[in-house]
Amino acid sequence: RSDLQWLCGGALVTNRHIVTAGHCVIIPSTMTLSVARLGDINLDDNVADGASPVDMQVDRTIPHPEYRTNAKVNDIAIVKLRSAVQFSDHIQPICLPSSSLLRSNTFVGQTPYVAGWGALFFRGPSTKSLQQVDIDITDEESCKNAYRNERGAVIDNRVLCAGKAGKDACQGDSGGPLMLDQGAVYYLIGVVSYGKKCAEPGYPGVYTRVTSFVDWINRNLD
Tens-digit pLDDT profile for residues 121-175 = 888 878 888 889 999 999 999 999 999 999 889 999 999 999 988 888 988 889 9
Alpha carbons 154 and 150: distance in angstroms, whole number: 9
The answer to whether residues 39 and 69 belong to one domain is yes
Tell me what pLDDT residue 153 has: 93
Residue 49 lies in a domain: yes
Range of lowest pLDDT (21-25, 89-93, 171-175): 171-175
Helix (H, G, I), strand (E, B) or coil at 13: coil
Mean pLDDT, all residues of the chain: 92
DSSP conformation class of 213 = T
The domain boundary, picked from 73, 93, 113, lies at: 93
The answer on 159 and 74 residing in a single domain is no
Return the CATH number at 43.
2.40.10.10
Distances (CA, A) of 18 to 132, 144, 168: 19, 29, 22
40 contacts 206 by C-beta, under 8 angstroms: no
Residues 6+ apart with CB under 8 A from 166: 199
- Residue 170: give the domain boundaries: 100-211
Final residue of a domain: which of 93, 108, 132? Answer: 93
Cβ partners under 8 Å of residue 115, min gap 6: 9, 130, 131, 132, 133, 176, 177, 179
The answer to whether residues 191 and 134 belong to one domain is: yes
User: Looking at the structure, do residues 24 and 73 belong to the same domain, yes or no?
Assistant: yes
Identify whether residues 89 and 118 lie together within a single domain.
no
**How many structural domains is the chain composed of?**
2
Among 40, 61, 93, where does a domain finish?
Answer: 93
Give me the active site residues, please: 23, 75, 174
Check whether residue 186 and residue 162 sit in a common domain.
yes
pTM for this model (two decimals): 0.94
Predicted confidence (pLDDT) at residue 48 exceeds the cutoff of 80: no
3-state secondary structure of 102: helix
- 183 and 115 within one domain: yes
